[in-house]
């Protein structure tokens, strides 16, 4: 078996003592098992191309190959086409899509630059796994450079409905690029349906079966591979509580209070304002819980150079202030809003000490926080997950309380149900949810994906056109 080559916008730090979390868990595990190369942007931005040096570092059997972006690439490829066009459109926010031709040109050129850099490091028997919406043209660029390796793509965010995708400028080119991969992996069955429907309506591709599409004489495999987490690692971290969290938990117990928790990147797709309004509604319809319900929203700063992100930050600060102003008493404030990254060792016990995990994105590829919340629970007295039906995770986690995040009253009602739910019902739901995330963990995800990529049909010939 050849090496695994992973190409993603960012790579993780593989140095000693680094806690790896989120989607990196599965990738690192696969790389360490098979040995390989991880290529991507190093996170730095330089003024001009001459200053963008390539770094090669080796950690055991894994090598990282990283480079900087120029300020122009950062502005147009990363913040521009990736995060002002593809991200909003794929999350159904065409109103926030800000397309400019130079964004698409830079997106294409930056993919070309990465491909050029990586091509020189590839071996004939490498299997290549490309991640996410920043790198849709990667296979096309590698094929142009006569790369005949198996190349798979995994989309971490939702694939939108056919109408929405066809509203993205240059969607025909994106489709052409996608169809240069040997395997296109999505998070959910719904994403696969959306992609099929788009191909049916907007291309000549023949859909042979749900898993196989043919274009000219090429075969492209398609599948859904719901990403998972390292359940054991997160469960372990959740049991290692620290003094402050433990003290707070005991204080709440004495005061007969409970905690509702949410943790997200501060992103408009995560539905934070809707959620705060739902919590306000809950306090209105259940006045008996005023003074007893603590809502902790942890929001890590994200893409602050994009206006839509600074707007939502201001909206949230205003909302949290207004709710606290209205309901707070001298010894209780309903909302605690933290706008920074919290280390995983702290996040996990915080999840465990919360009676409700309120995870209500307006649209999400999967949502790992939902799975982390389940993994962190004490099975003797587990909390309850309230989950948006528009999170990819809702396809798997049907024993959560599934809600429409746009319906503020429905979410407030789910909060009411959750806090009154008897222990036996919480335990029953938790058992089923825990089993599902354990069966479909991060290792399972990468194995399923890589097996599908390895057993797929022969690589396509270079330079074919759709
Ligand atoms: P994200 O949009 O980043 O990922 P998510 O899946 O929820 O969303 O992952 C976020 C990760 O960051 C989790 O591991 C969580 O614990 C951590 N996190 C969140 N808030 C934090 C905070 N304040 N401090 C520290 N850590 C925090 C994209 C897609 C998702 C998809 C993943 C993986 O948008 O839909 O699930 O990729 O495929």
Q: Indicate the fold that domain 4-228+444-456 takes in CATH.
A: Rossmann fold (3.40.50)
pLDDT at residue 213 greater than cutoff 70: yes
Q: Is 62 left (phi over 0), alpha (psi -120 to 50) or beta?
A: beta
pLDDT exceeds 60 at position 337: yes
Work out whether the CA dihedral 64, 65, 71, 73 comes out positive or negative.
negative
Ligand 1 midpoint to CA 209 (Å): 32
Name the residue with higher pLDDT: 273 or 251.
273
Instruction: Establish whether residue 300 lines the binding site of ligand 1, counting it when its CB lies within 6 angstroms of any ligand atom.
Output: yes
Instruction: For ligand 1, say whether the CB of 357 is within 6 Å of any of its atoms.
Output: no
Give 228-240 pLDDT, tens digit per residue: 999 999 999 999 8
Among the atoms of ligand 1, which is closest to the Cα of residue 267? 2
Question: If you take atom 9 of ligand 1, which residue's CA is the nearest one?
Answer: 368
Instruction: List b or e across 105-132, with b for residues whose CB sees 16 or more CB atoms inside 10 angstroms.
Output: ebbbbbbbbbbeebeeebeeebbbbbbb
Q: Is the CB of 117 under 6 A from ligand 1?
A: no
Give the distance (Å) from ligand 1 centre to CA of residue 368. 6
> pLDDT grade, residue 459 (50/70/90)?
very low
Domains 4-228+444-456 and 231-439 share a fold: yes
Whether residue 229 has its Cβ less than 6 Å from ligand 1: no
Asked whether 148 and 462 are in contact (CB, 8 A), the reply is: yes
pLDDT at 17: 52
Contacts of 250 by beta carbon, 8 Å cutoff, 6+ apart: none
To 5 degrees, how large is the angle CA 40–CA 45–CA 51?
Answer: 95
Question: How far is Cα 136 from Cα 177, in angstroms, rounded to an integer?
Answer: 6
Residue 457 Cα distances to 220, 243, 444, angstroms? 8, 55, 22
Percent helix, strand and coil across the chain, each to the nearest 5? 45, 20, 30
Q: Which of 90, 158, 262, 264 to mutate to test the pocket of ligand 1 (most atoms within 8 A of CB)?
A: 264
Residue 466, pLDDT above cutoff 50? no
Q: 379: which 2 tokens?
A: 């099975």
Strands 183-186 vs 150-154: parallel, antiparallel or unpaired: parallel
342 Cα–ligand 1 center, Å: 12
Query: Which of 20, 22, 135, 394 should be mutated for ligand 1, with most atoms under 8 A from CB?
Result: 22
Region 290-316: what's the mean pLDDT? Answer: 88
391 Cα to the center of ligand 1, angstroms: 12
What per-residue confidence (pLDDT) applies to 386? 98
Q: What is the pLDDT of residues 355-371, one digit of tens each?
A: 999 999 999 999 999 99
Q: Point out the least confidently predicted range of 108-112, 201-205, 452-456.
A: 452-456
Atom 18 (ligand 1) nearest CA = 264
pLDDT at 244 over 70: yes
Q: Which CATH class is domain 231-439?
A: alpha beta
pLDDT at residue number 12:
79
For ligand 1, atom 8, name the residue with the nearest CA: 367
> How remote is the CA of residue 269 from the centroid of ligand 1, in Å?
12
User: Which atom from ligand 1 is nearest to the alpha carbon of 342?
Assistant: 24
Tokens of 224: 């859904």
Please report which confidence band the pLDDT of residue 16 belongs to, taking 50, 70 and 90 as the band edges.
low
Q: Does 290 score more than 50 pLDDT?
A: yes
Write phi, then psi, for 243 (nearest 5 degrees): -60, -40
| The pLDDT of residue 363 | 98
d(CA 186, CA 195) in angstroms, rounded, equals: 9
**pLDDT of res. 266:** 92
A 10 A CB-CB count for 445 gives 25
CA of 273 to the centre of ligand 1 (A): 18
The finding on whether 366 has its CB within 6 A of some atom of ligand 1 is: yes
The average pLDDT across 315-319 equals 94
Structure tokens at 197: 């429907």
Query: DSSP labels for 103-161?
Result: HHHHHHHHHHHHHHHHHTT--TT-EEEEESGGGTTHHHHHHHTT--SEEEEE--SPP--
Residue 23 Cα: closest atom of ligand 1? 33
Lowest-pLDDT range, 20-24, 32-36, 167-171, 401-405? Answer: 20-24
Contacts of 263 (CB under 8 A, 6+ apart): 297, 298, 299, 300, 342, 347, 350, 351, 369
Average pLDDT over residues 332-340: 95
Alpha-carbon span 99 to 174, nearest angstrom: 14
CA of 343 from ligand 1 middle (Å) equals 13
Residues tagged active-site: 156, 364
Measured from the Cα of 341, ligand 1's closest atom is: 24
CB 58 within 8 A of CB 14: no
- Please report which confidence band the pLDDT of residue 20 belongs to, taking 50, 70 and 90 as the band edges: low
From the number of C-beta atoms within 10 Å of its C-beta (0-12, 13-18, 19+), residue 326 rates as exposed
**Mean per-residue pLDDT of the chain:** 93
132 lines ligand 1 (CB under 6 A): no
Least confident segment among 22-36, 47-61, 381-395: 22-36
Tokens of 457: 């049909």
Task: Report domain extents, the chain.
Answer: 4-228+444-456, 231-439
Ligand 1 proximity of 9 Cβ (cutoff 6 Å): no
Q: Give this prediction's pTM.
A: 0.95
How far apart are the C-alpha atoms of 6 and 27, rounded to whole Å? 8
For residue 437 and ligand 1, the question of a CB distance below 6 A is answered with no
- How many CB atoms sit inside 10 A of residue 48's CB? 9
Instruction: Read off the pLDDT band of 148 (50, 70, 90).
Output: very high
Annotate 330-377 with three-state secondary structure: CCECCEEEECCCCCHHHHHHHHHCCCEEEECCCCECCCHHHHHHHHHC
382 has a pLDDT exceeding 60: yes
Residue with CA at minimum distance from ligand 1 atom 38: 156
């Amino acid at each position: 078996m050849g090496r695994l080559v992973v190409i993603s916008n960012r790579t993780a730090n593989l140095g000693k003592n680094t806690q790896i979390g989120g989607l990196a868990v599965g990738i690192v595990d696969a790389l360490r098992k098979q040995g390989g190369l991880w290529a991507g942007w190093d996170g730095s931005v330089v003024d001009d191309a001459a200053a963008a040096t390539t770094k090669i570092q080796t950690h055991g059997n894994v090598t990282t190959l990283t480079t900087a972006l120029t300020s122009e690439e950062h502005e147009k490829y990363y913040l521009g086409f990736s995060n002002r066009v593809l991200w909003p459109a794929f999350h159904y926010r065409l109103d926030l899509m800000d397309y400019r031709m130079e964004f698409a040109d830079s997106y294409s050129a930056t993919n070309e630059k990465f491909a050029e850099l990586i091509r020189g490091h590839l071996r004939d028997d490498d299997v290549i796994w490309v991640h996410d919406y920043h790198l849709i043209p990667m296979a096309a660029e590698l094929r142009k450079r006569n790369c005949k390796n198996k190349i798979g793509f995994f989309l971490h965010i939702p694939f939108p409905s056919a109408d929405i995708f066809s509203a993205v400028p240059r969607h025909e080119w994106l489709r052409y690029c996608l169809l240069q991969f040997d395997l296109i992996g999505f998070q959910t069955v719904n994403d696969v349906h959306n992609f099929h429907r788009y191909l049916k309506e907007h291309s000549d591709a023949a859909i042979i079966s749900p898993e196989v599409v043919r274009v000219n004489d090429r075969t492209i495999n398609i599948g859904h591979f719901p990403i998972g987490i390292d359940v054991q690692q997160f469960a372990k971290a959740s049991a290692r509580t620290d003094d402050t969290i433990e003290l707070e938990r005991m204080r709440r117990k004495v005061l007969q209070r409970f905690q509702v928790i949410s943790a997200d990147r501060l992103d408009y797709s995560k539905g934070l304002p809707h959620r705060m309004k739902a919590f306000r509604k809950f306090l209105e319809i259940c006045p008996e819980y005023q003074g007893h319900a603590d809502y902790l929203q942890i929001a890590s700063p994200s893409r602050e150079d994009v206006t839509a992100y600074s707007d939502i930050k201001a909206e949230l600060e205003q909302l949290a202030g207004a709710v606290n102003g209205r309901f707070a008493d001298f010894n209780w404030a309903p909302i605690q809003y933290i706008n920074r990254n919290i280390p995983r060792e702290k996040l996990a016990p915080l999840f465990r000490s919360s009676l409700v995990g309120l995870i209500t994105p307006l649209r999400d590829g999967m949502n790992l926080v939902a799975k982390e919340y389940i993994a962190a629970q004490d099975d003797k007295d587990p909390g309850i997950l309230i989950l948006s039906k528009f999170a990819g995770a809702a396809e798997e986690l049907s024993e959560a309380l599934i809600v429409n995040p746009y319906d503020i009253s429905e979410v407030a009602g789910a909060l009411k149900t959750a806090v009154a739910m008897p222990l036996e019902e919480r335990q029953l739901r938790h058992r089923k949810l825990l089993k599902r995330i354990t069966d479909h963990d991060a290792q399972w995800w990468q194995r399923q994906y890589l097996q599908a990529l390895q057993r797929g049909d022969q690589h396509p010939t270079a330079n074919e056109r759709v």
